[in-house]
Structure 1
């Protein structure tokens, strides 16, 4: 099968597009990445995404228009690809509803019927909802990929392996030698630094390129201490979070309460990089993993990666690129794998109370013909 995975992360940098060729043999799913690209959001649409995710009030007409405009943008991204058998669209996350420490709902927009019409093939969307309905957190879905990819290696070596994905929010997956996977969101990834840079540049820049702003500043001890007191960090795992807890307002509220001179933007950026590295390193320490593989946009921030390696020592920290997996496209690879499991009728398990088949199916213009369900797939082979 040729599968296209579409998604836009919490940073809303653009639509990430990954096309893979997939084949099943016995209990092994083999996936070969074919093309990877990012389609930038039209600036006005990106502004509307960020304003909605930050809590701006929208009426029903505005929500309808946003869902449709997002669906049209995802559809155009899929239309650029040929000979697709399946599109897996995570959509654009606008909200992840946490009530009393647990997920109650989640909202990813981008009308899938528009994508199916453009791509001419079925679409699987709404990948998190079934897990939440069954009492899970709906995240981190990366646990599904890592169980198939790394469990055989963890069993062979007799030690746990952790992966970290640093997107807008950072998450950790811990693959145990017995095949169990523990997974949770560690807290902010790039979201807070991105928000600072976006506001500082008045929208001309969306992230701290090469960690330059953070590198030019110094960690502000009082600001760091107050941010580390955020209640999310003391909650037990498994847990999940989002922009509703870690946004520009989160930092503003703490900065406004500081005594003395307001820190510079460079010092705030350095402090936010330290906060992210500290929160991930704390999760690594609790995981007991022998090594950590890192993916996501945060891999390209040398300040963040250096501090993570220092704080996580003696556990070794490395990019997934060392294992032949592009750190930028790994999240899309995960969505492709989740979609393929659903296509073959195989339920997934994140780190919750139940296994469920993920997603909703939207037929292609020619209809929907699912294959016979398979009993299971236990191994993932990622081909060069």
Structure 2
């Protein structure tokens, strides 16, 4: 890009008072570790709060990780991860994210010079939502770590980048999760309908949107495993040849072990009150191995094991609604990779007393929503608008999440 164009874009990206509309690329790499989702969005602000933002998706791309790189990230997320690995991946993922942002701009018929900002979730490699004792006074603090450095993204793209969103919320006592409620309000809040936005990624999280909500009316939390246990079981059963149950075919061919589902739902996590969040540390590979061992002890077939894991996701979502929502929702809007698993969506439809739809019916693709959310979160950060929802995260107050990284 030319120096003049670059300078103009940088000024426009950082001068929020004069910007009514931005082109923002949102980047998401989630707990499933399958790749980077990138959404190029046109975002206009014409009001206050999250409902003051209007978004249209100009393009969406997914940049999958190859098997070796995915395994390196998975290792970094586990107990075998080292500081050296995290350090190297912090820069390597920044470069991957920058490439995904360029691909999304290109898919929208734009160059990076046309992009005003990039919003990057980063890659979570450690999330510790329960307060821990630290060697600094008497404080017990939560912690979280996302890698894929925003400065690397900014320098490689030449675009102002907002990254590392979770830590601002953690700094004021929150879980740093879930982050998507701001976007859920913008995209799905309705004046008359009690709607739940249910994302099913590696972890499943819900945002309860009462009619005509303000941020104080909204609740959100991680309901438990989304695709993570299903994916982990499939990967173990196939020795890594498959990483997920395509179209729910294995689950459809199996029979759910109801007793095992009930036993799993006795986990303390499902009973604990929101705000709460979870991740790979709790429902990752070790949990999938223990789950499969339990299936083997019951002489379940491979298909039965996958069906039972799928039922665990659906039932844990429904159980969370019964426990923690003020009343049954009118609609459940499903997004994330789980929206493409018809067996999971069908089980969820059977388990909840509500109309279950996928988010595609509301103008956003099921795979797109979380990347779109980080475009919105970045736009709000550039505007200086608080973009956490304290009722969801447990934070003591609203804050502007996201660190701004200008290109040098």
TM-score greater than 0.5 by the shorter chain: yes
Matched residue, 1:147: 185
1:306 and 2:346 aligned? yes
Contact kept in structure 2, 1:140 and 1:240, CA below 8 Å: yes
1:331 and 2:370 aligned? yes
Matched residue, 1:168: 202
Greater alpha carbon shift after TM alignment, 253-262 vs 219-228: 253-262
Contact kept in structure 2, 1:96 and 1:103, CA below 8 Å: no
Contact kept in structure 2, 1:211 and 1:302, CA below 8 Å: yes
Instruction: Identify the match of residue 142 of structure 2 among 83, 96, 104.
Output: 104
Contact kept in structure 2, 1:103 and 1:136, CA below 8 Å: no
Separation in structure 2 between the aligned mates of residue 317 and residue 107 of structure 1, nearest angstrom: 34
CA 316–65 in structure 1, closer or farther in 2 if over 3 Å, else same: same
What is the deviation of 1:199?
2.6
Matched residue, 2:63: 39
CA 322–259 in structure 1, closer or farther in 2 if over 3 Å, else same: closer
Q: When the two structures are superposed, what TM-score results if normalisation uses the length of structure 1?
A: 0.88
Separation in structure 1 between the aligned mates of residue 235 and residue 288 of structure 2, nearest angstrom: 14
Q: How many residues align?
A: 359
Matches within 5 A, 1:1-384: 1-27=22-48, 28-58=52-82, 60-80=83-103, 81=105, 82=111, 83-99=114-130, 104-151=142-189, 153=190, 156-157=191-192, 159-177=193-211, 178-179=213-214, 180-256=217-293, 260-285=297-322, 286-287=324-325, 288=327, 289-313=329-353, 315-350=354-389, 351=392, 352=394, 353-365=396-408
> CA offsets, 1:231-269, max 9 Å, x none?
100101111000111023113335545795542221111
CA 223–54 in structure 1, closer or farther in 2 if over 3 Å, else same: farther
CA 26–252 in structure 1, closer or farther in 2 if over 3 Å, else same: closer
Q: Secondary structure at the match of 1:346?
A: coil
> CA offsets, 1:16-51, max 9 Å, x none?
011011222344322211110100113211111112
5+ long unaligned stretches in structure 2: 1-21, 106-110, 133-139
> CA offsets, 1:257-283, max 9 Å, x none?
579554222111111111100011122
Separation in structure 2 between the aligned mates of residue 120 and residue 184 of structure 1, nearest angstrom: 35
Separation in structure 1 between the aligned mates of residue 102 and residue 187 of structure 2, nearest angstrom: 30
Contact kept in structure 2, 1:171 and 1:185, CA below 8 Å: yes
What is the deviation of 1:296?
0.7
Separation in structure 2 between the aligned mates of residue 220 and residue 86 of structure 1, nearest angstrom: 48
Q: Secondary structure at the match of 1:225?
A: helix
Separation in structure 2 between the aligned mates of residue 257 and residue 194 of structure 1, nearest angstrom: 16
Name whichever structure is richer in helix by fraction. Answer: 2
Separation in structure 2 between the aligned mates of residue 8 and residue 75 of structure 1, nearest angstrom: 13
5+ long unaligned stretches in structure 1: 366-384
